[in-house]
Structure 1
Amino acid sequence: MAVERFVDSSVIRKLILLIVMAVFASNGSASGGWVIERDDRGDSPLLKERKAIAMSPEQREQQALSAAYNQALEAEQARIRDHWASPEVSSQTRWVAYSDDYSSKRVVDFEVNQIEISIDGIYTGSRLDFTAMSSKVGSQLELTLGTSIKAAVEQDPIQKAINQAYASVDKAPVADDAGDELVLKELFTAARPSAVDVRNAAATLMRKASIRYQAVNASLASVPVNTGRKLTYVVPLPDNRLRKKVMEYRPEVSKNAQRFSLSSDVMMAIIHTESHFNPLARSHIPAFGLMQIVPSTAGRDATKKLYKKPTLLSAQYLYNPKKNIEVGAAYLSVLYYQYLKDIKNPESRLYYTLAAYNAGASNVARAFVGKASFTDAVDTINTMTPDQVLDRLVTKSPHKETRDYVKKILKRRAYYATL
């Protein structure tokens, strides 16, 4: 880069832009979701920004949503700390909800396949009243089983703050009902289970519940008393729950895979790895839903393909499983068939696509040329066999998360190919 001889206002503006870009780059580590740097594309907004010395709508959107998430997270965790040692909130694989007074906590762990309900110990005299506790936990379990995706989103205080942030960057984001279907609809045979159905399902699950006290699963008889600490009931979910979830989503995945000339097995493996089929999945980026879509980047690229116009999608839209799968498939098509089209071998391109899905196309290029430039990496990639490309990705990618991510996707892809 040539150095300007005189420090005029344009140079100062350039320096400010470089500082802003450096901040964004420092936050661009592997983190899952649709995170892809697009500074190497010919039509990249970042290239336009370098010329215009201004922040793009995409950057403003991402900055606003990220700031709203972080501010809401800090506020919510402060409230949680008044009642709980660990201020846990919802993540990609764990849906976390608290009672209004924060006295109880409900967690659905989609990866471990269990529900955790934590409450204050209830005492009769000096001893724990297990009957009263079981009754309270049972009620909390019914509440969990009977909650719809829409209700879960509307009740989440962090999500409320993110929704408000949309107004500052887009007056009319494309919205959609998050869905009246239950978060755990796979536990029921009826599409709209009755209150009796929910109560019976909770009672059945409670029969296999155990109490975790001080991070140890113990029988009821051995739980200490008079400690004043919270207890967690661990409720295992049915072993076939994941398979039912797969069967629930597979038709929609197959339809969109065919529509966009993709492999349904790869899409299923991505959903499994990104969210473990948690429709309420949310990461810190923030990214939303089954395929962890970032509204300001992948969402805009996908809507350009779907609707011929790049559009900001609301979080509610992306929490809708069918919409999320459609958007994810559209973006995967854009990534594979457009952004990475210069990789000639289809298998090599697939491997690179998976890594780029996790860490960004430019970051992944470091595994091949030692710098964040997909354009510079293409020639090197095209001299390699697919096996060599894969080996480089799982051994030389700059982030361990990305190396493990590619392995997980390919392993799960093989599994879904057998179903």
Structure 2
Amino acid sequence: MKKAALFLSALLLAGCSNPRPPECDCTTSQPPTSEPVTDNKKAINALFSYLAKEAIKQWGEDDYVESSKHRFVKYLDGYQTRAHIDFEAGKIYVSTVSQYQPMDKLQKAIVQTVLMPADPKYAEQFTDKEIQLTGKPFFLGQIVDQEGKSIEWEWRANRYASYLISNKLQSKKIKKGTAYYVEIDMVKDHLEQREYQYAHYVRDASKRYNIPEDLIYAVIKTESSFNPYAVSHAGAYGLMQVIPKTAGADVFNLVKKKPGIPTKEYLFDPANNIDTGTAYLHILKTRYLRDVKNASSKHFSMISAYNGGTGGVLATFHPDRKQAMVELNRHSPRQVYDALTTKHPKGEARRYLQKVLYFQKDFKEGNI
């Protein structure tokens, strides 16, 4: 209990360590009307369904794998070959079920995977198109070859692929035939390597919206494990998993003062994504939750609202929104934390607050 109390104390201090930011110029909460708000969730699920249908033809239902917030899956070669990147575990699996020249297909897929560019538009995850190798590889520094050297050029990637196939090849019997695959371990500090890639974007967004850097990092780690290709069935995109028609629309309308909603291409850009996600945290803090009086209680509430919405936070305390705010302010910060992590209507939101605060404490201690 003593350890838990010390941990909570650190979290409370984290919530109070920054001065109150200036109020944003948020004069309306109405969605933009100059262009239609599309049903992004429906559209993204249609893409997931199409991908599943095509990939299952080759792999079967039991061995089909799809992308998620912390996982990127790219199918190639008529959906017979794929790269599966687990950003949390730091593992990459490159596999093929092709019965025609499978080693050639595997070799090519390994090369495309280790040299994959950082911009998601060059690695279309809902088609089987080849990955376009352009610019600096995203995994540079996160993957090393058999000699312990980073892989930046195609000749080195090909040599590494040949080594893996000759020395690390595995096979597995599946319903559709035989799958050949190799496993690639990322370096131990792969997460830190990705953090460094986005440090300047986080720093700029923190200054722009007066949101602590450690909180931005913690949200990114919770949402995507620093996976810039992240996409979910909820229609959220990128590092901070921004949903265009909700958080994205709010940022465009209330902060950017521009009509419409951000496109998926806009949100897949790391700079735009971090800016938008941080701006939404600013909106939560200075607009939707501005009446929360205690700084730590507000900190807990805005983190919870980033995942489960402001309505979910208020519903934790009372069905009526106005009365909910009164009840929330009657609670101590510790009681607010306990309520949001045990009584929030959504289980995911309860766990979300715990995760973000845990990661924020870690980043605050200098692990950035």
TM-score between the two structures when normalised by the length of structure 1: 0.70
Larger Rg: 1
Corresponding residue number in structure 1 for 2:16: none
- For 1:305 and 1:287, the matched residues in 2 are separated by 19
1:215-235 CA distance string (max 9 Å, x none):
9xxxxxxxxxxx933243222
1:202 deviation in Å? Answer: 4.9
Deviation at 1:89, TM superposition (A): 2.6
Structure 2, unmatched stretches of 5+, are 1-25
Q: Which residue of 1 aligns with 2:191?
A: 242
8 Å contact from structure 2 (residues 115, 151) kept in 1 = no
User: Counterparts of 1:19-418 in structure 2 under 5 Å?
Assistant: 43-45=28-30, 57=33, 61-63=37-39, 65-86=40-61, 87-120=64-97, 136-150=105-119, 152=121, 155-157=124-126, 181-187=136-142, 193-199=152-158, 202=161, 209=168, 211=170, 213=172, 228-369=177-318, 371=319, 373-418=320-365
Matches of 1:118 and 1:357, distance apart in 2? 36
Alignment-mate amino acid for residue 45 of structure 1? Q
What per-residue deviation string (whole Å, max 9, x for no partner) do you get for residues 170-198 of structure 1? xxxxxxxxx95533244379999332343
Cα distance in 2 for residues equivalent to 1:80 and 1:348: 46
Aligned CA distance change for structure 1 residues 368 and 306 (closer, same or farther; 3 Å): closer
* Distance in 2 (alpha carbons) for counterparts of 1:212 and 1:344: 59
Amino acid at match of 1:392: A
* Contiguous gaps of at least 5 residues in structure 1: 1-40, 47-55, 124-131, 161-178, 216-226
Q: Residues 82 and 266 of structure 1: is their aligned pair in 2 closer, same or farther, counting only changes over 3 Å? A: same
What is the CA-CA distance between 1:381 and the residue it aligns to? 0.8
Change (3 A) 1:236 1:206: farther
SS in 2 for 1:354: helix
CA contact (8 A) 1:95 1:109 kept: yes
Shift of 1:302: 1.6
Query: 2: CA distance between counterparts of 1:192 and 1:118?
Result: 20
Between 1:343-352 and 1:132-141, the stretch displaced more is 132-141
How far apart in 1 are the matches of 2:164 and 2:104?
Answer: 13
Deviation at 1:206, TM superposition (A): 7.0
How far 1:375 moved relative to its partner? 3.1
Q: Secondary structure at the match of 1:81?
A: helix
Residues 298-323 of structure 1 deviation map (CA, whole Å, 9 limit, x = unaligned): 11222235432243211111111111
Distance across 1 between alignment mates of 2:237 and 2:207: 23
Equivalent residue number for residue 12 of structure 2: none
Distance 1:105 1:340 in 2: 44
Instruction: For residue 238 of structure 1, report the CA deviation from its aligned partner.
Output: 1.1
Matches of 1:135 and 1:249 in 2, distance apart? 35
% identical equivalent positions: 27
- Shift, 1:351, TM fit: 0.4
User: Which residue in 1 is equivalent to 2:8?
Assistant: none
